[in-house]
Amino acid sequence: MTPHSLSLRHALLALAVMAVWGSNFVVIRVGLDHLPPLLFATLRFSVALFPAVLFLKKPDVPWRNLAAYGVLIGAGQFGMLFLAMKGHISPGLASLVVQTQAFFTIALAMRISGEKVRTFQYAALALAAAGIGVIIWRTDGSATPLGIGLVLLAALGWAGGNLVARQTPNVNMLAYVVWASLFSIPPLLAFSLAFEGWPAIRTGLVRADALTWAAVVWQAVGNTMFGYAVWGWLLARYPAATIAPMSLLVPVFGMGASALFLHEALPAWKLAAAGLVMAGLALNTFWPRAGEIYRRRLSPNGR
């Protein structure tokens, strides 16, 4: 029988993933000091692909599924995210805004299934939208409208990738991500050559120091291989409703790491905006579960 509550060991493991994913926004900022954003994203997926692809068997899924996931997560999510973080939005705010992927995932799923949006989902979206509105209104230069727009596109790409991945349950998630990287690299490299140009690529590679390459490796090994592998392993052993709420900690670690290592200011308005977005995410995540518990208590047999 599938357990419904995390053991202490597994809770700490999930917490470690959230810490890696949250602090990763600081790592991205470090890598962008020398590398053009699209080149950085290309290198990230290149290191995730090789040499791991030599040791991991291709998952038993159609090539078109791997291609869709690779393009949506590679060019869609991380391509847009890296572009945004090249001077258009701070790491802490990026870690917060990108969590709107939860709403995009629901919207896309409902578009496909024809299911109607429920009242609590409208309320959750309104709270999150209010928080993003505060960021746009009160920004101190740590976020621009372009930066927020790019991160929202990144969230949309992440949501699309979520729906593609859901079509392939019970696969080795690490192998899935590694093989999908094969399809992330070509569009990112093409965009880098087209929009950043060979001179900028060459300059970035020449200027890249040990810290820059460490950021690339961490993106591939820590963020992708460790993070996705552990997350997939936990999702295979617990209900999604038990694991998914843990992702609410990503912005906490993201904003905390940005303040600690990059000295990103956390004025009251920014904390209030974060509170609104987090409240919307929490309402969207916990309301169905709370309603189910309430109905069980009202049931005569407690089921």
Read off the pLDDT of residues 219-266 as tens digits, 9 standing for 90 and up.
999 988 888 778 877 876 776 656 767 777 888 898 899 999 988 888
pLDDT digits (tens, 9 = 90+) for 144-199: 889 999 999 999 998 898 888 878 877 888 899 999 999 999 999 999 999 999 99
What's the full length of the chain, in residues?
Answer: 303
**Dist. CA 80–CA 84, nearest whole Å:** 6
Q: Are 25 and 85 in contact (CB under 8 A)?
A: yes
Q: What pLDDT sits at residue 299? A: 64
- 140 pLDDT tier (thresholds 50, 70, 90): low
Task: Give the predicted TM-score (pTM) of the model.
Answer: 0.84
Specify the range with the lowest mean pLDDT, choosing from 44-58, 64-78, 123-137. Answer: 123-137
- Number of other CB atoms surrounding residue 98 within 10 Å: 23
- 1 pLDDT tier (thresholds 50, 70, 90): very low
What are 89's strand-pairing partners?
143
Given a cut of 50, is residue 128 above it in pLDDT? Answer: yes
Query: Average model confidence (pLDDT) for the chain?
Result: 86
Given a cut of 70, is residue 99 above it in pLDDT? Answer: yes
Tokens, residue 70: 């690779």
- Number of other CB atoms surrounding residue 283 within 10 Å: 18
Q: What is the dihedral of CA 236, 248, 152, 64, to 10 degrees?
A: 0
Domain borders along the chain are 11-298
- Number of other CB atoms surrounding residue 36 within 10 Å: 21
Distances (CA, A) of 83 to 166, 200, 212, 301: 27, 14, 17, 55
SS3 content of the chain, % helix, strand, coil (to 5): 80, 0, 20
**Dist. CA 136–CA 145, nearest whole Å:** 6
Hey, is 52 helix, strand or coil? helix
- Number of other CB atoms surrounding residue 195 within 10 Å: 12
